[in-house]
Amino acid sequence: MINKGMAAIFSTFLIVIVSMFSAASMAEDEMTIKPGRYEILSSTRTSIDNALSKKTTERCIQGNTITPESLLPDRKNCVIKNLKRKGNSSSFDMECNTPGGQSLKGHMEYNTKETSFKYKFNMKGPYEDGVLEIDASGSAVRVGDC
């Protein structure tokens, strides 16, 4: 079983992924997407049990921008490093400190189109006598208005 600190960061991260869009003014590191109702397909695997978990959700996205900071699982305890952007694709490394004082390091890649987005990330950190690794990916497509 994942300890409470890692579980909290992981759960928060997945919630952030499906609610990462917010209305804001355009800045250089923001990418746009058309507001509407999106079907989001996500897959997650952890090194704890190696079982693949798949989930489909629908979410109304009302804002039209995404920033790297909006993808962080915990803005207070995580930092972005090595941010790179090319066209509608971005990637960055991140490091997050759990409430228990452990450090999870990860890499995020995402891209947007007018009516879709994709993401994938990997995080690793100490867990009991070994290392916890979390791999997740997802894609979303606009299926209508909110």
Range of the domain at 79: 4-144
Q: Which residue has the higher pLDDT, 137 or 78?
A: 137
Report pLDDT digits (tens) over 119-141.
898 999 887 778 889 898 999 99
**What's the number of domains the chain is made of?**
1
Please check the confidence at residue 84 and state whether its pLDDT lies above 50.
yes
* Secondary structure (H, E, C), the chain: CCCHHHHHHHHHHHHHHHCCCECCCCCCCCEECCCEEEEEEEEEEECCCCCEEEEEEEEEECCCEECHHHHCCCCCCEEEEEEEEECCEEEEEEEEECCCCCEEEEEEEEEEECCEEEEEEEEEEEECCEEEEEEEEEEEEEEECC
pLDDT in tens, 21-51: 433 333 445 667 888 999 999 998 988 888 8
Average pLDDT of the segment spanning 53-73: 76
Q: What is the pLDDT of residue 6?
A: 52
